[in-house]
Amino acid sequence: MELNTHTMSDLFAQLGLPSEEADIQAFVAAQRPLSGGAKLCDAPFWSEAQARFLRDEILEDADWAEVVDQLNLMLHA
């Protein structure tokens, strides 16, 4: 079984967000910090579809789970 390796830029594109490095850094700077106990998928700035994608990828430990976890860490920092 071959797992896909997704980048943060890939994740932002998947979420329908601007995906250049500067765009990612600006998004993170504008949205953090999430409170310590807040789940990434429950953050108020996601659309319903984005939140569902983030939640499902983590719950299913799917291809995107690693990069979703990285985003989670970035937004909680």
- Closest C-alpha to 25, from 68, 63, 75: 75
> How far apart, in whole angstroms, are the C-alpha atoms of residue 22 and residue 68?
18
Query: In 1-77, where does DSSP find H-type helix?
Result: 8-14, 21-31, 48-59, 65-76
Positions of the chain with pLDDT lower than 70, given as ranges: 1-4
Query: What is this structure's pTM?
Result: 0.89
> Per-residue b/e over 38-53, b at no fewer than 16 CB within 10 Å?
eebbebeebeeebbeb
Instruction: Please give the CATH topology (third level) of the domain spanning 8-76.
Output: Arc Repressor Mutant, subunit A (1.10.10)
Q: What local confidence, expressed as pLDDT, does residue 1 receive? A: 43
